[in-house]
Amino acid sequence: MSIILHVDMNSFYASVEQAKNPHLLGKPLAIAGNPRERKGIIITCSYEARAVGVYTTMPLFEARKRCPDLIVLPPNFPMYRAASIAMFDILREFSSLVEPVSIDEGYVDVTLLQNPQQVAYEIQQTILTRLKLPCSIGIAPNKFLAKTASDRKKPLGITILRRRDMEHELWPLPVMEMHGVGERTAKKLQQLHIHTIGDLAKMSPYTMKLAMGKMGVQLQERANGIDRRHVNPEAIYDTKSVGNSQTLARDEEDVDALYVVLRRLSDKVAVRLYEKRLVGTTITVHIRDHNWHTVTRSGTLANATQDKRVIYQEAVRLFEIGWNNLPIRLLGVTMNNVMDETQQTEQLSLFTYEEQMKDEPIRQLVEKLTRKFGEGSIQRGISLPRAKGYHSYTSFSKDFLQDHQKGE
């Protein structure tokens, strides 16, 4: 049986600021995208701020109403990134099987170590002593239960959760409280008369598959404490999507101004795809209105691309489908189903066929030389490293994973 830890840093950005400046300890602190902007939003906040009702994504003006003494700082991403690197370095002192999943959380496989509870305590104390940062740790036989356990006690908690604990610990809880179930999924489950985690656990896999496909089966297994995923340090090299979003300075309903934002976001996504040598086929547009209601619309392209013009055109089309003409607070553009650009295969249309035919004489020559001199003797081009610009690092929650690349 595996023994997996989920290490979750507590109120990470705020804790890093407090570690740097001890005068902030014990005070209500919030990190906001733009502290001077009344309509900015809270990125994260300290537990002292949470105690008086401040929470992540709350508009700054409302947070100040609830907590007049709230200290608000702008984000210092380089400092948070350095703290993240140091935290994961500590985890790797205890096990080589460490899988970062975000800037402030990761899984550690401690199956081969004796007394996992003691190991968890030593990890927690080492991070607290060296970095002055608190964390909570879940101990369980799989990732799902470990993640669930780490959420049970914050800050500075250590919680053990076993499959046999599911029935009395988790089954009575609303299904919305289950890790991996969002608002939209919860509504679908309620339509199936599933209101608690226990209701979900007792459903048949066949019924769940009919209703929700593979995801339904997976959720039913999770509700029974089943998760077959292993801790995989190599998983950090798998990029599944590339996206950017922007919270607007004010509620915006001028369509021309919104098109400008969509173009800027599409350009950033295209640059990041190019610098990561990726192409993608599915574009998703995220629209959040002034009431914090979020709509997403997705479209799949005939051919994988990293072309900013194609991305922008599809983003505009999806935006026009999804926008309800209410003032907009946030826009986002994401490319999903990404792959290495060398794996791209293009569906031939009348126009692309003509372009491909222009290359046919070159292709025939390459094949002839290959037959004569051997496989790999002739290559179409040399893969040179691409310099990374500002835009390739704008999705902070994803790009921090580059800090864990081998040899860097």
Convert the pLDDT of each residue in 27-37 to its tens digit. Answer: 999 998 765 65
Over residues 191-196, mean pLDDT: 95
CATH code 3.30.1490.100 region(s) in the chain: 239-347+378-404
Comparing 167-181, 202-216, 237-251, the range with the smallest average pLDDT is 237-251
Provide, rounded to the nearest whole percent, the portion of the chain with pLDDT above 70: 81
Class of domain 239-347+378-404: alpha beta
Whole-angstrom CA distances from 144 to 92, 153, 216, 312 are: 21, 16, 15, 37
CATH code 1.10.150.20 region(s) in the chain: 166-223
pLDDT band for position 339 (cuts 50, 70, 90): confident
Whether the pLDDT of residue 393 is over 60: the answer is no
The C-alpha atoms of residue 323 and residue 126 are separated, in whole angstroms, by 49
Comparing 4-13, 52-61, 218-227, the range with the smallest average pLDDT is 52-61
Whether the pLDDT of residue 388 is over 70: the answer is no
pLDDT band for position 395 (cuts 50, 70, 90): very low
pLDDT digits over 116-171, tens only?
A: 999 999 999 999 999 999 999 999 999 999 999 999 999 999 999 999 999 999 99
pLDDT band for position 48 (cuts 50, 70, 90): very high
pLDDT at 234: 83
pLDDT at 408: 40
Active site (catalytic) residues: 105
Is 199 marked as a binding-site residue?
A: no
pLDDT at 85: 95
**3-class state of residue 283 by DSSP:** strand
Q: Is the pTM of this model over 0.85?
A: no
Residue that is written with structure tokens 């835009």 in the block? 391
Q: Calculate the average pLDDT of the chain.
A: 86
Class of domain 166-223: mainly alpha
pLDDT at 21: 96
**What's the order of all strands across the beta sheet hosting 98-102?**
98-102, 105-109, 4-9, 135-140, 158-160
Calculate the CA 122 to chain-centre distance: 28
Whether the pLDDT of residue 67 is over 70: the answer is yes
Per-residue DSSP letter, 405: S
pLDDT at 302: 82
Over residues 91-112, mean pLDDT: 95
Question: Strands, DSSP E only, in 71-148?
Answer: 71-73, 98-102, 105-109, 135-140
pLDDT band for position 369 (cuts 50, 70, 90): low
Complete DSSP assignment for 14-32: HHHHHHH-GGGTTS-EEEE
pLDDT digits over 15-28, tens only?
A: 999 999 999 999 99
* Tally of residues, the chain: 408
pLDDT at 176: 93
pLDDT digits over 311-337, tens only?
A: 999 999 999 999 999 999 899 999 988
Comparing 110-124, 132-146, 199-213, 289-303, the range with the smallest average pLDDT is 289-303
Over residues 266-271, mean pLDDT: 94
pLDDT at 130: 97
Is 238 marked as a binding-site residue?
A: no
The C-alpha atoms of residue 394 and residue 377 are separated, in whole angstroms, by 39
User: What is the CATH number that goes with domain 1-160?
Assistant: 3.30.70.270
Whether the pLDDT of residue 183 is over 90: the answer is no
CB count within 10 Å of CB 42 equals 22
Whether the pLDDT of residue 392 is over 90: the answer is no
CATH code 3.30.70.270 region(s) in the chain: 1-160
pLDDT at 8: 97
User: Which residues, 6+ apart, have CB-to-CB distance to 218 below 8 Å?
Assistant: none
Asked if residues 253 and 339 have their Cβ atoms less than 8 Å apart, the reply is: no
